[in-house]
Amino acid sequence: MKKSLVRPLIACGASVLFAVLPIIPTLIAGAIATANGCRLNEGSPSPCIVGGSDIGNTLYSMGLMFWFGMINLPLGALGLLLSLAWLVGRVVSRR
């Protein structure tokens, strides 16, 4: 791979990661709650006993991380578009 294409590709990957990062804790919280038979909702924390400890508040906080996606998804999409434009500009200028 050409050295001049590495930075735009890294920027594309970073933009996608930035966009989906808040969704990852929500998916993990849902998986933990489902595996332990607990209820998870955005209204209020529900008790969830795992290993003798109540992790309901932690799961609730992780579940609410999804709302940061309202900011991160559009900004990540914008970053991806700009990174792709940068990448296309680099490819076109090499020809």
**How many domains does the chain contain in total?**
1
In a domain, 39, yes or no: yes
According to the model, what pLDDT value does residue 59 have? 94
Owning domain of residue 84: 10-94
- Token readout for 65 is 């991380």
pTM as predicted = 0.76
In a domain, 50, yes or no: yes
According to the model, what pLDDT value does residue 93 have? 85
In a domain, 3, yes or no: no
The answer to whether 79 and 18 are in contact (CB under 8 A) is yes
Model confidence pLDDT, tens digit, residues 1-60: 677 889 999 999 999 999 999 999 999 999 999 999 999 988 899 999 998 999 999 999
According to the model, what pLDDT value does residue 5 have? 87
Which residues touch 79 (CB under 8 Å, ≥6 apart)?
A: 11, 14, 15, 18, 19
In a domain, 47, yes or no: yes
